[in-house]
Amino acid sequence: MATTAEATEITVTEEPKLKPVDYKSDLKPIWCPGCGDYATLSAIHQSLARLGVPTHMVAVISGIGCSSRIPGYCATYGFNTIHGRALPIATGVKMANPELTVIAAGGDGDGLSIGGGHFPHAGRRNVDMTYIMMDNNIYGLTKGQVSPTTPAGDTTKSSPYGLGDRPLDAIQLALAYNVSYVARGFSGNIKHLVEMIYGGLSHKGFSFIHVASPCPTYRGIDRFKEYKERVVYLDDDHDATNPLTAYQAALRDDGKVPLGVFFKQERPTLTDNCEAISRKALANGQPTIEGIMDQFIP
């Protein structure tokens, strides 16, 4: 016969630990063979598994472009939205349900051209989500036109005589926009990329991961090899708490592409700030319409 202690014992059933494959949807990616986006997708699945967040607590939001197909390949909530609008829509998702792990994903054209006006505001507001930009230096989905990060002088479908414009640098922009976690990975090193994305997902605030993600179809089959020769890793003693050091690490004049966490800062998020405003606003009781209207009547 069971003693009282035995009879009242509660059995704790542990949730099964999720594996990367559990975050993978049944849809088979239709990217070109050798596309850098495969590696980023795998790194996202691995990072989510490491985080251990249930699939129903994740939302992946994208704009338009080759890389913006990512929500379809994740067994989470997802929304493949309209061109350049991943960040405002992801911000709305996070504000509606702050418990969700929110990932915004897309390419350089989507994030720095069509949606370029949203990036600074997501950064300065410190929306608690992770933005992954797969930068292939081209518009791939529309078959190879110049993007905001195409290097000067390059010939493309829309610059047959060479491009005169200078490219934007996503890391320098993120630092200028007060993004609180700024990192870069390369699709040719998945292990390192997982570290960058996992770091961003674990960070409380707006995290930006810039991924050098070559497009062999429109940037040439040698692009991976070329990147492998150009990437360098930030020193172990790099001071990621100092914006000046971060900026210096991002600025290179030797053609190298630095990888790692450039900057990390803890500060209140948009959700924290909205809650604080709400508490202040309600401290003197529920505001009335008349009280609000009085402020606008001279």
Q: In what order do the strands lie in the sheet with 231-233?
A: 77-80, 58-62, 101-107, 130-135, 207-212, 181-186, 257-264, 231-233
Q: How far is the CB of 66 from ligand SF4 (least distance, A)?
A: 3
- 130-135 and 181-186 strand pairing: unpaired
Question: For residues 88 and 167, which CB has a smaller minimum distance to ligand SF4 in the complex?
Answer: 167
> d(Cα 249, Cα 243) in Å, to the nearest integer?
10
Q: How far is the CB of 239 from ligand SF4 (least distance, A)?
A: 34
Q: How many CB atoms lie within 10 A of CB 247?
A: 16
By beta-carbon proximity to ligand SF4, the closer residue of 64 and 215 is 215
* Element spanning 77, H or E: strand 77-80
Nearer to ligand SF4, 221 or 281 (CB): 221
Name which of 67 and 101 has its Cβ closer to ligand SF4: 67
Q: Write down the least CB distance from residue 68 to ligand SF4, Å.
A: 10
* Closer of 128 and 135 to ligand SF4 (Cβ): 135
Least distance CB 212 / ligand SF4 (angstroms): 12
Q: How far is the CB of 249 from ligand SF4 (least distance, A)?
A: 27
Q: Which residues does 127 contact at the CB level (< 8 Å), separation at least 6?
A: 87, 90, 91, 94, 205, 206, 269, 270
* Chain residues that interact with ligand SF4, rule: CB under 6 A: 31-32, 35, 37, 66, 136, 140, 215-218
**Interatomic CA distance for residues 217 and 223, integer angstroms:** 10
